Structure 1
Amino acid sequence: MVVIVLTACPPGLRGHLTRWLLEISAGVFVGKVTGRVRDELWAAVLEHCKSGKAFLVEPAQNEQGYAFRTHRHEWEPVDLDGLSLILRPNTAPAGSGMKRGWSKAAQYRRARK
């Protein structure tokens, strides 16, 4: 099973992907293809997705059973002791009032221990 998510990509790329995958929502493609076809589709995505973003979820022989590939995406996959996790950058503006660190609830829980 392969899942490709496109954001702000040209319509021609979406049309190309519908030859192999089913578009279940705008920019979300799902299907079961061979590894060779999957790699060729990802190469086409990288070639045609100029300023847009792309995300691929593919099966893998690991504990989770899947792996990620990204293109021009702020969220990036990182490996943590064999598990693939998504690292989301802190995008809070400097004067937004959002503070970094533990929440009040987490501080209370830690204090009770």
Structure 2
Amino acid sequence: MVVLVLTACPAGLRGHLTRWLLEISPGVFVGHVPARIRDALWDRVVEMCRDGRAILVYTVRGEQHFEFRVHRHDWEVVDFDGLKLMRRPNSKARSSTLRPGWSSAARRRKVRNR
């Protein structure tokens, strides 16, 4: 089983994927294709996706019974003790460039606690 989710990809790519997969919702494709076809479809998605994003989930033998691939997505695939998980970017890491006490609320709090 293959599930492919596309976001902001060209219509030509969606048309190409409908040759092999069924589009059950806009940008969501499902189907059962051999591994060779799945890999060829993923190569085509990466090639044609441009500014869009894509996630491919497919069945494999193993403990989780599925694997996934991502292309230009905020979340990243991490291996955690043999399990593949999706890690969301840490919001604290993005805001770490701000120095402590930068907001007016922080300044008021500082004055109040003196």
Number of aligned pairs? Answer: 95
Aligned to 2:106: none
Structure 1 stretches of 4+ moved >2 Å: 90-95
Larger % of helix: which? 2
TM-score (normalizing by structure 1): 0.79
Aligned to 1:6: 6
List per-residue Cα deviations over 1:42-64 (Å, max 9, x = no partner): 01001100010000001122201
Q: In terms of Rg, which structure is larger?
A: 2
Aligned to 2:90: 90
Distance of 1:62 and 1:87 partners within structure 2 = 21
Classify the secondary structure of the residue corresponding to 2:63: coil
Aligned to 1:22: 22
Matched residue type, 1:84: K
TM-score (normalizing by structure 2): 0.79
Aligned to 1:52: 52
Cα drift, residue 89 of structure 1: 0.7
List per-residue Cα deviations over 1:16-55 (Å, max 9, x = no partner): 0001000001100000000000000001001100010000
Distance of 2:62 and 2:55 partners within structure 1 = 19
Structure 1 unaligned residues grouped into runs of 5+: 96-113
Matched residue type, 1:42: W
Classify the secondary structure of the residue corresponding to 2:62: coil
Matched residue type, 1:80: F
Structure 2 unaligned residues grouped into runs of 5+: 99-114
Share of identical aligned residues, percent?
A: 62
Aligned to 1:80: 80
